[in-house]
Each structure stands twice: as structure tokens, then as C-alpha cells.
Amino acid sequence: MTDRSPVKPSITFDEFLKLDIRAGTVIAAEPFPEARKPAIKLWIEFGGDIGIKKSSAQITVHYQPDQLIGRQIMAVVNFPPRQIGPFMSEVLVLGVLDEAGHIVLIGPDNNVPDGGQMH
């Protein structure tokens, strides 16, 4: 099946390089019932100077909190924190929509060091 979503406006390579996309390991996850849309709270270890960061992700269709522990994911770590209800989300977890419009997380195929930067 072909993705038919519209192509976004062009950005420069220098603009792309401003994104700091890193690998991290989910060390804790729990339901987020206070969120407007079903979501899971994540605590992700990025190692080194970044450490543990929190995120909220609308991933409840494909994932249960206990299934996420130990899973490596990719996230943008240099966006400003965002308040989501009573929870402060510090990084943007990356995913792709499936055919039904539900998020599937993006992560490395093989284990990589936490904090590894996307190249």
C-alpha cells in the first residue's frame, strides 16, 4: 500500500541537523488516565548528560505499559518541555501511523547505547 499523505514543505539540511534525535530505553511506563486521549506515561533512559526524561505517548492501541519496559525507542530530546495535563513531557517519542492511524514506535533493530544519536 502506498502512503498518500501530503509531503510537508521542504526544510534545509541545516534545519534538520537542529533536531537531536536519540535512542533511549524505556525504564518505566504507566497508564495516563488523566490525558484527553488514551496515552501512556514513559520514563526513558538516555544515559550520559541527558539522563532520564519523561514523555507521554498515544500508543495504547499497540502497547501495554509492562510491554514497553526495556524497549529501545527514538525520541527528539531538544524540544522544550510540554505540559500535558498534570504531566510534564520532556521529549517527543517518534512513531509512524499504521493503516488505521494508530502509532507504532520507531526504534533501532539492534541494541545501541542509550543516548546514541541518529545519523
Average pLDDT over residues 84-102: 96
Residue 74 is predicted with a pLDDT of 98
Q: Is the pLDDT of residue 1 over 70?
A: no
CB atoms within 10 A of CB 94: 16
Instruction: With cut-offs at 50, 70 and 90, classify the pLDDT of residue 91.
Output: very high
- With a pLDDT cut of 90, the percent of the chain lying above it is 88
Residue 67 is predicted with a pLDDT of 96
- State pTM to two decimals: 0.90
Residue 7 is predicted with a pLDDT of 84
CA 39 to CA 60: how far, in whole Å? 6
Residue 8 is predicted with a pLDDT of 82
**Domain boundaries in the chain?**
13-105
Class of domain 13-105: mainly beta
The string of pLDDT tens digits covering residues 32-74 is 999 999 999 999 999 999 999 999 999 999 999 999 999 999 9
Q: Which residues contact 93 (CB under 8 A, 6 or more apart)?
A: 42, 44, 55, 57, 59, 73, 74, 75, 105
Instruction: With cut-offs at 50, 70 and 90, classify the pLDDT of residue 4.
Output: low
Average pLDDT over residues 90-119: 96
Q: Is the Cα dihedral 75, 79, 83, 84 positive or negative? A: negative
